Amino acid sequence: FRNLLNVRFSPHKKMNIFFGENAQGKTNILESIWLLSGKKSFRGAKDREMVNFKRDFFKVQSKFIKDEREQEISVFYDNEKKFLINGVETKNLGEVNAKFSAVVFSPSDISLVGDGPSVRREFLDNAILSIYPAYEKVLKNYQKAVAQRNNSLKDLRFHSEIEFVLDAFENSIANYGFLIIKYRNRYVDLLNEFAPTIFSEITRKKEILKLEYCTTVGATIDDFRTQLRESRESDMFTLKTSVGPHRDNLEVLINGVSARNYGSQGQKRTASISIKLSEGEVIEKVTSCRPIILLDDIMSELDPERQNYILNQIKNKQVFLTCCDPSNIVNLKKGKVFKVENGKTQRVKI
Ligand code: ATP
Ligand code: MG
């Protein structure tokens, strides 16, 4: 797998740290574990790019414990990706994810709090998808209806008689859109059961984190339909649908103000980490499957208190963490440490 050839390690139940210089294979290790969850590379890599330059396949295999028994999962790629769970092949990625789930946090994930609303909508949708597979259909139908409405807006300028076509598309938009908002609100409620506590534990200050789903849509499906009808005239010029969950935002508030607009780098980072760790808690609450936590290169920009939380206080989860500078991990109380060098791992005592 990438530059990792015949790497084999036996991780600690709780904390596992992979440290080493740049370009040695630390992130590759997390990426390989992540693939076992049935998802695509979190670095946006294509499957074939993860095949070692000198080979024509990759293979990642792991034993893991679920439902109190040891099980085995592997992913094999040679032009096509195949999963084997306890010796039985499956192409159903949902089934893979239900067996082996993970949450990953990499440095670019600070954008979760710092960037525009579309990043947070995407986060919400992906997080919901991984626990409620039925949501996929709702999203697709909604997106299709919006695309159809946008397309028809073009014609409306010259053919006012097609208003009834728009009625039909707007009806679908309102129905599916309303469902999306329901799913997202429910999910944000779930996140709020965990994120504020995790955030205050990490910061050990009286900073308060709150997540708020802000929608452009009125309180009922009928309101939504009316909004769509009333925006036809202006939407006709932009050829876009100006109202709906595709324009909504997940507000991240620290002490009541927008973290995106007012938060420091460290606050944004801590808020994003708290949200991701809460995603793990929500997976566990809803599916009773305990996800693995993958943390890529997050230590160097955190202050010692926050580092200590990451190293020693993440509860009830198996964590895999990478970092360059071993001085960031000297306060580790329980766990295993591996040095990564040129695609090889070696356990070391710290
Ligand atoms: P950093 O500290 O900079 O994040 P890292 O240890 O996380 O470094 P990785 O991203 O895990 O580094 O690994 C990068 C190395 O893997 C690079 O040297 C790269 O050339 C090598 N690599 C990436 N893809 C492949 C591949 N398909 N085949 C062989 N080597 C690869
Ligand atoms: Mg890396």
pLDDT at 320 over 90: yes
Nearest CA to ligand 1 atom 30: 3
Helix (H/G/I), strand (E/B), else coil: 346 = strand
Kindly write down the DSSP assignment for every residue of 124-183, as one continuous string: HHHHHHHH-TTHHHHHHHHHHHHHHHHHHHHHHTT-GGGHHHHHHHHHHHHHHHHHHHHH
Q: In this structure, how many other beta carbons lie within 10 angstroms of the beta carbon of residue 87?
A: 8
Beta-strand (E) ranges in 198-318? Answer: 209-214, 249-254, 257-258, 292-296
Helix (H/G/I), strand (E/B), else coil: 254 = strand
82 bridge partner residues: 76
Q: Report how far apart the first and last C-alpha atoms of the chain are (Å, whole number).
A: 28
Best mutation site among 4, 21, 26 for ligand 1 pocket (most ligand atoms within 8 Å of CB) = 26
Is the beta carbon of 26 within 6 A of some atom in ligand 1?
yes
Nearest CA to ligand 1 atom 19: 23
Is the beta carbon of 24 within 6 A of some atom in ligand 1?
yes
List CB-based neighbours of ion ligand 2 within 5 Å. Answer: 26-27
Determine the pLDDT at residue 159. Answer: 86
Whole-model pTM?
A: 0.94
> Which contacts (CB < 8 Å, 24+ apart) does range 221-226 have?
221/174, 221/175, 221/178, 224/173, 224/174, 224/177, 224/178, 225/170, 225/171, 225/174
Nearest CA to ligand 1 atom 4: 22
Nearest CA to ligand 1 atom 1: 22
Angle at 22 (CA atoms; ends 29, 267), nearest 5 degrees: 85
Atom of ligand 1 nearest to the CA of 24: 6
Reported residue count of the chain is: 350
Is the beta carbon of 2 within 6 A of some atom in ligand 1?
yes
Determine the pLDDT at residue 76. Answer: 98
Whole-number Å distance, alpha carbon 35 to ligand 1 midpoint, is: 16
More confident residue, 171 or 160: 171
259-306: per-residue pLDDT in tens?
Answer: 999 999 999 999 999 999 999 999 999 998 999 999 999 998 889 989
φ, ψ dihedrals at 332, nearest 5° = -60, 130
Whole-number Å distance, alpha carbon 66 to ligand 2 midpoint, is: 29
Nearest CA to ligand 1 atom 3: 22
102-150: per-residue pLDDT in tens?
Answer: 999 998 898 999 999 999 999 999 999 999 999 999 999 999 999 999 9
85-105: per-residue pLDDT in tens?
Answer: 999 999 899 899 999 999 999
Is the beta carbon of 3 within 6 A of some atom in ligand 1?
yes
The helix or strand, by DSSP H or E, that contains position 118, with its residue range, turns out to be helix 117-131
Cα–Cα nearest to 290, from 321, 316, 320: 316
